[in-house]
Structure 1
């Protein structure tokens, strides 16, 4: 399965290298205008006011966030070990960009499981970029149930910038297309999350297919599938 998913690229070997990588930025560096600081909100089907409803939109969305099912496979896919605890988990991201497949590492550095203001239930997690990533920064994915109103939403908050160590060709490509692709990624994440929750509420199974595997590693999201042209793509590991 690994050969079909990644062509000639040994993704499992690249994933193993992440254990020795470090987060590639300091929070002290983060400030506008050099960094993009964003919040992306997607309303999901609402629930009655109060705590999350068993089997309701919040619980469904939480499972999708946990398993990285919201990521649009045409833009970003991930390889990780589901047996590892969520906190501290290393993930090899495959960023697919106009016939180029970039492989970059992230690490889950925060898990959110809390009630805010006594009424709002929030669950999620955050990853930060590792050495060699195209970007530097952190993304937090959360699903929030507002207890007083019953509203539910998927929220992605992030701070990021292109890695200063990118080569000239990659750096030019990032300046031309990186920010546009980044914003499209978050828009598609929200669209998929809303579609999947609505589908699950109709009683349909989401995701519909089992995830691909590379040995013990899971290839996410579950609807990510290899295409015949993937073998012809240019693969670059840790370009930053």
Structure 2
């Protein structure tokens, strides 16, 4: 397993930035969420189907759940994460690196919900949600769920989010977010779905689409596991908790 030292994200001491999240609070209230000032999105993507009935052992639903649990679906060219895999999923703090146009923003999120249920009498659902912490570029929540419709065998990846740019952004960051933020956000959703579908399909063919071992920083892991450092990362503009 490769070690990146404390410099997982370019020049940033990522371990310390992750530790600082422990004292941060969620930066919004759900009572504030309403259109048109908030973006409210739901994206559904079909994954390989199963036979009707409960999820099949090692089938598409189970494989997708594992990939979602480990944040493998996230496209590393847009968002990377650093977290402690030994911590319970519920309550887990994650340091995200949002990357676009030569700028890397480091923001915290916290897992505030884990979903493990049968919904509407037929849909087997597993997933989790994180909410943004103080200092994040955005305010809001993203929920990632894998759904099997047991009556038909359909398997879906469902991403549902509500978000808005943080009102405390400085002027330069705010302008950059106005220009690139929403486009990058929508591209992120699209790439998440593409990656998850491709990875599940590859595993069902007996292939290993990912390295299987995530880069490590002490006891923390970088996700997704195909995250790689590039020389140009050190040249990017780095902003920690820009809001």
TM-score tier after normalising by the smaller chain length: over 0.9
CA distance in 2, matches of 1:5, 1:208: 17
Deviates more, 1:126-135 or 1:229-238: 229-238
| Structure 1 residue 27 corresponds to structure 2 residue 30 | yes
Match 1:80 to one of 71, 83, 97: 83
1:176 equivalent in structure 2? 179
| Structure 1 residue 216 corresponds to structure 2 residue 219 | yes
1:47 equivalent in structure 2? 50
CA distance in 1, matches of 2:235, 2:7: 12
CA distance in 2, matches of 1:61, 1:35: 29
Query: Does the CA-based 8 Å contact 2:10-2:234 persist in structure 1?
Result: yes
2:241 equivalent in structure 1? 238
Q: CA deviation at 1:218?
A: 0.3
Question: 1:171-210 residue pairs with structure 2 within 5 A?
Answer: 171-210=174-213
Query: Does the CA-based 8 Å contact 1:93-1:104 persist in structure 2?
Result: yes
CA distance in 1, matches of 2:235, 2:52: 51
CA distance in 2, matches of 1:216, 1:208: 18
Give runs of ≥4 in structure 1 deviating > 6 Å.
none
Match 1:15 to one of 4, 14, 18: 18
2:120 equivalent in structure 1? 117
Unaligned runs of 5+ in 1: none
2:170 equivalent in structure 1? 167
Query: Does the CA-based 8 Å contact 2:6-2:15 persist in structure 1?
Result: no
| Structure 1 residue 102 corresponds to structure 2 residue 105 | yes
2:95 equivalent in structure 1? 92
Query: Does the CA-based 8 Å contact 1:5-1:225 persist in structure 2?
Result: no
Unaligned runs of 5+ in 2: none
CA distance in 2, matches of 1:30, 1:2: 39
CA distance in 2, matches of 1:129, 1:6: 20
Q: CA deviation at 1:4?
A: 5.6
CA distance in 2, matches of 1:228, 1:212: 16
Deviates more, 1:220-229 or 1:4-13: 4-13
CA RMSD of aligned residues (A): 0.9
Question: TM-score of the superposition, structure 1-length normalised?
Answer: 0.98
Query: Does the CA-based 8 Å contact 1:51-1:119 persist in structure 2?
Result: no
Q: CA deviation at 1:117?
A: 2.1
Q: CA deviation at 1:3?
A: 5.2
Query: Does the CA-based 8 Å contact 2:8-2:14 persist in structure 1?
Result: no
Question: TM-score of the superposition, structure 2-length normalised?
Answer: 0.97
1:157 equivalent in structure 2? 160
| Structure 1 residue 56 corresponds to structure 2 residue 59 | yes
Match 2:68 to one of 55, 65, 69: 65
